[in-house]
Amino acid sequence: MSDYNRVIMMGRLTAKPELRYTPSGDAVTTLRLATSRRYKTKSGEDREDTCFIDASVWRKQAETCSEYLVKGQKVLVEGSLVMRQWETSSKEKRTNYEIQALRVLFMEKPRNASSASSDEKVSGGELPPPSEDEEEIPF
């Protein structure tokens, strides 16, 4: 049996989504997400920790996210956690974790959405997930 890797995070975008295209022409958008956790310490003090994580969104869903999402908007991202490793030009090894998004839900309209056309564009909220090869399906 294979392992199970699924992540669901909801938070606010810390930047406008960045759309780019791979050499083969596939659209990919990076979403920078901040998600906060509130808790009380043993002494009763209120605390808040914020986690920052990137999510990569592919193909048509990437183009839609880039077109309609704005900085500060609340989104829910569902996908797999992946680890990226690379070496800098000064030979330092670096590691980064990100979400490979399968689904992005718009949890609210953009804060500056005032026209009817803007309301119509984001009303659906859910974007279709990218197609997956049958070999990657765990059953």
Q: Which residue has the higher pLDDT, 118 or 8?
A: 8
Q: Which pLDDT value is given to residue 112?
A: 62
* Interval 119-135 mean pLDDT: 45
Is the per-residue pLDDT at 137 higher than 70?
A: no
Residue 24 φ then ψ, to 5°: -85, 0
What are 62-95's pLDDT values in tens digits?
999 999 999 999 999 999 999 999 999 999 999 9
Domain at 7-39+46-119, CATH homologous superfamily: Nucleic acid-binding proteins (2.40.50.140)
Q: Global pTM?
A: 0.72
* Interval 112-118 mean pLDDT: 50
Percent of the chain scored above 70 by pLDDT? 79
Find the angle CA(76)-CA(110)-CA(10) to the nearest 5 degrees. 15
First to last CA, the chain: 9
- In the three-class reduction of DSSP (H, G, I as helix; E, B as strand; rest coil), residue 120 is classed as helix
How confident is the prediction for the chain on average, in pLDDT?
85
Is the per-residue pLDDT at 118 higher than 60?
A: no
Is the per-residue pLDDT at 99 higher than 70?
A: yes
| Interatomic CA distance for residues 52 and 129, integer angstroms | 23
